Chains A and B, each alone.
Chain A
């Protein structure tokens, strides 16, 4: 019997911690959860405790040698050569104590979310601890060790045999998940991100469309640096609607990196909270239109953990739970709880004032370029749709 949504959470998510100066900080999940609780949107009965993913489950995507390397990295030292080979011990993904266990809990969280939705315990499920889309088969990269999204998709394919639409709105290209299903026509990936011209990882061109049977099932929307709300949401909405119509998914898995925001230190996009309201609203709509509501949402990037991530992620849950976004003032006890710990002034409202956006002289050019990207990315979907008519 379906009843609403499941919020997957455990304090074990906070153990995924590189070091105190690292931009990726899972306290974001706690801040988001606390905001929801103080706003009376989340109660104990909504929360599902995750399990730890088993090694066999990790091996649905990762090589055993890599899993072993992660296990050893968490307890002892890897050699320099091994560090290079497996992407561990770099500035981006340094080793930390019990790395394997902490990473396995994030994956377990996503698998718990999948089971909750696909076993009919809830219509939607949210694991803000997941969304680590840069992880590769045998290499950690870009703050990601195990790729919970890719593991979850293989898990869905193997146990439930459903067609999966993966939608990635992180400002960085969802490369790990894209390459994992590049030749698979049963998994459609859509990533909207800042162009890789300057930004990590550099991939995610429009012409990365998949290979072999999977050709035409990989979509990329590399939008320009300094893109603002209007152009971002317009591009995202048109693409998601058309691609969902073309692909007819059975279940939607979204990665909700919150680093496209103007305040984010690592990227150069200029979105405000408006974008992070539209993203879950449309995902929710599409899930009900095509998938009987089956929607699993994950976290992801987001490096302004005080001003941006808690509000953006809380809106996903709000949409799952109430069907709508929150507006007006944030609960004041949330600010009083966290302000003393935050180096920046915490926001007081759910939305952002437009003044936080700098003046971008090239706004019209950027919008025009993004439109072209959109048309080009959807070139073949349009053709296929026309053929069917």
Chain B
């Protein structure tokens, strides 16, 4: 998945000469946390976060508040140089930047001009889509040996039943490198026939499982 597919293109910016008060208002009105600072050519020359702006604002505990602080130009507090990404970068790479650099937001720049923004929230939303929980479905989890060909083998069971698969995730089984957990979200309210097929084929189901034991 590419950055241009998930970035926001409706971006709020300020010129370097805008004031701290302008920034505060823009953050508040639009429920955003970052403002890219651009010159007249739409080139990103800095960025400010809501925390930068708050640091530059008077404390709510101060007795004699100095409102002068609000009039400072934003270029005096903006961070630079700014790390930016390209619209054709992979979302996975951007996630890496977020994780390593501890940013929460990256301007997207093409031909030196700002064309969008991508935030941690956009990333998480994409992740939710990848899990498939955003469409009607039932979940089945299968523990399989970690070997070539296992995924099509299991998927064929769903295919035979004409059960549509919404998403597939694969993750490690605890610390055991010999196994993987396959998580399928399938578009059916009645997974019973497919589950029976999987059991008959000898697969080890993590969910649904029969952990419930009789009481007597």
Tell me how far the C-beta of A302 lies from the nearest C-beta in chain B, rounded to whole angstroms.
13
B contact residues around A172 at 8 Å (CB): 189
Chain B 173-216 residues near chain A, CB threshold 8 A: 185, 187-193, 207-208, 212-216
A142 within 8 A of B: yes
Q: Which of B139, B164, B192, B213 has a CB less than 8 Å from the CB of A358?
A: B213
B163 within 8 A of A: yes
Q: Which of B134, B187, B189, B212 has a CB less than 8 Å from the CB of A360?
A: B212
**Chain B residue nearest in CB terms to A270:** B212
A355 within 8 A of B: yes
A200 within 8 A of B: yes
Interface residues on A, range: 20 to 34
Stretch at the interface among A151-159, A191-199, A216-224, A377-385: A191-199
> Considering the chains assembled together, what is the distance between the CA atoms of A270 and B213 in angstroms?
12
Q: Which of B137, B164, B190 has a CB less than 8 Å from the CB of A201?
A: B137
Number of B residues, CB within 8 Å of A: 26
A141 within 8 A of B: yes
Q: A91-B190, A143-B189, A266-B192 are in contact. Are A358 and B212 (CB under 8 A)?
A: yes
A186 within 8 A of B: no
> Considering the chains assembled together, what is the distance between the CA atoms of A199 and B185 in angstroms?
10
A91 engages B161 (CB within 8 Å): yes
B79 within 8 A of A: no
Chain A 197-223 near chain B by CB (<8 Å), digits 1 or 0: 111111100000000000000000000
Chain B 86-117 residues near chain A, CB threshold 8 A: none
A48 within 8 A of B: no
A266 engages B213 (CB within 8 Å): no
Chain A 64-97 near chain B by CB (<8 Å), digits 1 or 0: 0000000000000000000000000011100000
B138 within 8 A of A: yes
> Considering the chains assembled together, what is the distance between the CA atoms of A197 and B188 in angstroms?
14
A197 engages B190 (CB within 8 Å): no
> Considering the chains assembled together, what is the distance between the CA atoms of A235 and B134 in angstroms?
26
A91 engages B215 (CB within 8 Å): no
B9 within 8 A of A: no
Q: A196-B133, A202-B185 are in contact. Are A359 and B213 (CB under 8 A)?
A: yes
B133 engages A92 (CB within 8 Å): no
> Considering the chains assembled together, what is the distance between the CA atoms of A134 and B161 in angstroms?
22
Q: A92-B190, A200-B188, A266-B190 are in contact. Are A141 and B215 (CB under 8 A)?
A: no
B189 engages A266 (CB within 8 Å): yes
Tell me how far the C-beta of A301 lies from the nearest C-beta in chain B, rounded to whole angstroms.
9
Chain A 123-160 near chain B by CB (<8 Å), digits 1 or 0: 00000000000100000011100000000000000000
B138 engages A358 (CB within 8 Å): no
Q: Which of A22, A142, A198, A268 has a CB less than 8 Å from the CB of B136?
A: A142
> Considering the chains assembled together, what is the distance between the CA atoms of A201 and B207 in angstroms?
16
B contact residues around A90 at 8 Å (CB): 162, 164, 187-188
B135 within 8 A of A: yes
Q: Give me 7 other A-B pairs in contact (C-beta within 8 A), A91-B190, A202-B138, A355-B215 excluded.
A: A90-B162, A142-B189, A200-B188, A201-B189, A268-B208, A355-B216, A359-B214
Q: Could you list which residues of chain A lie within 8 angstroms of chain B, going by C-beta atoms?
A: 22-23, 90-92, 134, 141-143, 172, 175, 196-203, 226, 265-266, 268, 270, 354-355, 357-360
The 8 closest A-B pairs by CB, nearest first: A358-B212, A201-B136, A142-B189, A200-B189, A200-B138, A198-B139, A359-B215, A92-B189
